[in-house]
Amino acid sequence: MTVVATRTTSEARMDTPRKSGHTHEMTWWERMYVPEAFKGLATTLKHIPAKKKTLQYPEERPEHLRPEPERYRGMHRLTKDVEGRVKCVACFMCATACPADCINIVAQPTPDEWTDREKMPAVFEINELRCIFCGYCVEACPEDAIRMDTNITVPVFGRREDFIFDRERLLSHEPRMDLNGEYMSRR
């Protein structure tokens, strides 16, 4: 009895080499990539004589190059009431709304002479490395105590600890000014 091995068409297809879409056979010179290296070098040399402008970023702002949009979200700041006290009532709404979990609040009771609220933040920290600048904390705050209307874009620091903004630092940030020197209102 003789057994004949037959191949299916799919097995036959695997044995045949696939043809790529290239019809041009590369020469030895092209396989060494010498022409492509010279093309890249020519591109680099074209950019050398162009005039360059270097900005010392934290000190020099590129306003003339690209103005910030009206609804730009800058770094966070805490606001004060008319008496100069922090507006935050430590309700934890901003920390609850934050999807990045970057806001840390520790509440404490207010002094007895403060009759308009029961609590205030003993600790209010925002970890700017975790923050995704979504603005949910600003929208969630019922007292309008936290805003993102500063001119500060990205802080330039050297240590991780410098990116955790405490209450005093958040209170020291100023709102963005318009061209007339007036504070821009929240829209």
CA within 13 Å, CB half, 50: 9
* DSSP assignment of 8-68: -HHHHHHHSPPPPS--SPPPHHHHTTHHHHHHHHHHHHHHTTS------TTTS--TTTSPP
Number of H helices, E strands in the chain: 6, 5
Write out the two tokens for 41. Answer: 């070098």
β-pair type (103-109, 119-127): antiparallel
Q: pTM value?
A: 0.60
29-88: pLDDT as tens digits: 778 888 889 999 999 999 888 888 787 766 676 666 566 667 777 788 899 988 889 999
Q: Which domains does the chain have, with CATH numbers?
A: 77-172 (3.30.70.3270)
121-159: pLDDT as tens digits: 999 999 988 999 899 999 999 999 998 876 666 666 678
